[in-house]
Amino acid sequence: IYVFYVYNVVKYMESQRNISEFILLGLSYDQNIQAVCFVLFLLCYGALLMGNLLILISITCSPLFDQPMYYFLSHLSLMDICFTSCVTPKFIGDLLVGRKTISYSNCMWQVFAMHFFGMIEVLILTIMAFDRYVAICKPLHYMIIMNRTKCQLLVSAAWAGGAAHSFPQLSIAILLPFCGPNEIDHYFCDIFPLLKIACGDTHITGILVLANSGIVTLVTFVVLFISYVVILFTLRNQSSEGRRKALSTCGSHITVILLFFGPAIFSYLRPPTTFPEDKVFALFYTIIAPMFNPLIYTLRNSEMKNAMRRVWFLIYDTILIQHIFRR
């Protein structure tokens, strides 16, 4: 119902505008650089999809799905796929064409989807930090606090938070007046690049965007930082084996948070303007971080690697048995 409502709002606002499309300037004007970027980011997107789908299927088809940490990890992988797919396929396709255009409605949809799935991912990362805090600081009460019902409620709250964050962003975007240039100096539609080409005074609008995106991102990062400081402080009382395992898990989470939040804070926690570096930093939270998440979460996680082996050996055996019976 929410998505259907957003769709109707976007289509109605499109009919009221005197602009039907925007021109995306992309990463570079150099055709050779664009060709290299096409190959590079096509490989990155393929690795991102394969890695996150591997995690998603392996967790869903194994007993790990019953454990809160892996339950949240499966949702994080799903959000990685949804979040980056809002931008990356079109971005890769645009690298092969000279004139990169996007319709008004698709541009608004991109703004909505990026902030919707992006905020859900931010909140799931926060939930995962809370899960690690309970597991390490209150281990005897872990299964009571993080039971399946509460885990489902937390994930539902993350989706609700994504909706609450994305609709104001979409409202800001569709209410912007466009009467002049329609060239967006970026490779996807976002609030700040749209503010740059909007007519009239956008100072107040920029402050609203800063409050809705920048402050939220910074506060979430500070909360995550404090939670992991508390966790690391508590680890002093753990055994060496418990400390090693906890540090391995927390280290993965901290790496993901730095890769995602660092560029996001730079992009949104500042006055409403654009810089040439924005495109490079945007690559980190739209493609690079989601691509590395599967490696970060599985490289030092024996449970995850064992689950992958079991699931994919089972799939291989099933295919082999079907092949034998067909013959």
Query: Amino acid identity, residue 180?
Result: G
Distance CA 29, CA 33 (A): 8
Tell the burial category of 199 from Cβ atoms under 10 Å away from its Cβ (0-12, 13-18, 19+): exposed
Asked if residue 36 belongs to a domain, the reply is yes
DSSP E strand boundaries for 12-71: 21-24
Res 196: pLDDT: 84
Tell whether 19 is covered by a domain: no
Kindly state whether residue 183 falls inside one of the protein's structural domains. Answer: yes
Domain tally, the chain: 1
pLDDT score at 90: 92
Q: Does some domain include residue 327? A: no
Start-to-end C-alpha separation, the chain:
49
Structural domain that includes position 66: 29-309
Q: Does 130 map to a domain?
A: yes
Residues forming beta bridges with residue 103, ordered by sequence position: 21
Q: What are phi and psi of 24, to 5 degrees?
A: -90, 125
What does the pLDDT read at residue 230?
A: 82
In the sheet that holds 101-103, the strands lie side by side as: 101-103, 21-24, 183-184
The string of pLDDT tens digits covering residues 266-311 is 777 776 666 667 788 888 888 888 888 877 777 667 777 777 777 7
Q: What is the pTM of this model?
A: 0.86
CA distances from 50 to 42, 93, 260, 307 (A): 12, 19, 20, 16
Enter the tokens of residue 290.
């989601």
- Indicate whether 320 belongs to any domain: no
pLDDT of residue 79: 92
Per residue in 17-57, pLDDT tens? 667 788 888 887 888 888 898 999 999 999 999 889 988 88
Burial of 133 (0-12, 13-18, 19+ CB in 10 A): middle
pLDDT attached to residue 14 = 61
In a domain, 252, yes or no: yes
CATH number at residue 290: 1.20.1070.10
- Domain assignment of residue 22, yes or no: no
pLDDT of residue 190: 86
**Segments of the chain scoring below 50 in pLDDT:** none
Phi, psi angles (nearest 5°) of residue 103: -70, 160
Q: What percent of the chain has pLDDT above 90?
A: 16
> pLDDT at position 31, please?
83
